[in-house]
Amino acid sequence: MTTTGQAVQVDEGKLMQFVFRAVDEVGATLNAALVVMGDRLGLYQALDGAGPLSPAELAERTGTAERYVREWLNTQAAGGYVEYEPDGGRYTLPPEQAMALTDPDSPAYLPGLFQTALGAVLDSPKIGDAARSGAGFGWHEHGPDVHEGCERFFRPGYNANLISAWLPALDGVVAKLERGGLVADVGCGYGASTVLMAQAFPNSTFAGSDYHDGSIEMARRRAQEAGVHEQINFETAAAAAYSGTGYDLVTMFDCLHDMGDPVGAARHVRGTLKPDGTWMIVEPHAGDRVEENFNPVGRAFYCFSTLLCTPASLSQDVGLALGAQAGEAKIRDVVTAGGFTRFRRVAETPFNLVFEARP
């Protein structure tokens, strides 16, 4: 045992354990930049299915400099992202890592998560300033890595769950959309969910909105690329002010907690829905009690919440700042305060909670 200046006894074993855990986290923090670098340089793509490659072979295939690639490969081997053969000095990307790092259609696809995390870290000095003054920092004020990374991270989850599980879990919604319904996708970002629903329900019409004009511009581009632009009208609008009425379905994907006035948004949704319409709310997976979220997913979400979601809400009127780990009870309170009488959890994944609210 050692004593500090205040005569507090410190267990040296526990101290060293904590120090080594922290060193591992420094490696993980830096690795976020190296994953984004590997993604951008096409290093994972080139390793995928290639069998064991030397740094020179990988450098040649990707048009990069061997010395950088060799060092990068060693970081990836030390972290368990690639396997290293000491005899031949070659590196292999195992199939599981290849799926998570190179297949944008896999629900396990990770580069977007790293991209948005790195974007958030790069903007963190501004969040530190905001923490002193109490000011907010809007979603629109972040760099494009936050926006694009978010789309790249969320889209595979929507591809895997939205059409096959989440919409069918809502009472009677799929039948309405198959016949031809009117849907508002609010806080739609780059429109990944809007495009997916439009592709699945060609008889339905969609209104995508977000308060960030840069995101709406990208959403229009995505709809055009997917050939569903005639089914979707995108507009730049805050959640409490999007246009139109008579919606069969209003959706909000991972954005209610980012809003300054989610109750005001809920009231607007209530006013724009048909009397028998449905509001689907997708929120980050969270327990109601803080300590229920002390797990790897909860930890990552609290970090995102501190750097992105809470400042975003604080930058807007009311600034309720639900946080990304709000949990079901707080979401229920918001929905009920907005005039909805029915609320239930209809689905969940390790990352998401899905709720149905009815007037």
Ligand X SMILES: C[S@@+](CC[C@H](N)C(=O)[O-])C[C@H]1O[C@@H](n2cnc3c(N)ncnc32)[C@H](O)[C@@H]1O
Residues that bind ligand X (CB under 6 A): 139, 150-151, 154, 187-189, 192-193, 210-212, 215, 238-239, 253-255, 258-259, 312, 316
Q: Which residue is nearest to ligand X (CB)?
A: 189
- Residue 152 Cβ, how far from ligand X at the closest point, in Å? 9
- Residue 96 Cβ, how far from ligand X at the closest point, in Å? 25
Q: Is 318 helix (H, G, I), strand (E, B) or coil?
A: coil
Dist. CA 120–CA 302, nearest whole Å:
13
* CB of 44 or CB of 139, closer to ligand X: 139
Cα-based distances in Å from 270 to 242, 277, 304, 319: 12, 9, 29, 21
Q: What is the largest CA-CA distance in the chain?
A: 73
Residue 252 β-bridge partners: 186, 281
- Residue 97 Cβ, how far from ligand X at the closest point, in Å? 25
* CB of 112 or CB of 277, closer to ligand X: 112
* CB of 77 or CB of 122, closer to ligand X: 122
**Which tokens in the block code for residue 231?**
């089914």
| 210 within 8 A of 217, measured Cβ to Cβ | no
H or E element: which one contains 333? helix 328-337
* CB of 59 or CB of 238, closer to ligand X: 238
Dist. CA 228–CA 263, nearest whole Å:
32
- Residue 310 Cβ, how far from ligand X at the closest point, in Å? 12
- Residue 147 Cβ, how far from ligand X at the closest point, in Å? 7
Dist. CA 41–CA 43, nearest whole Å:
5
CA atoms within 13 A on the CB side of 35: 27
- Residue 320 Cβ, how far from ligand X at the closest point, in Å? 11
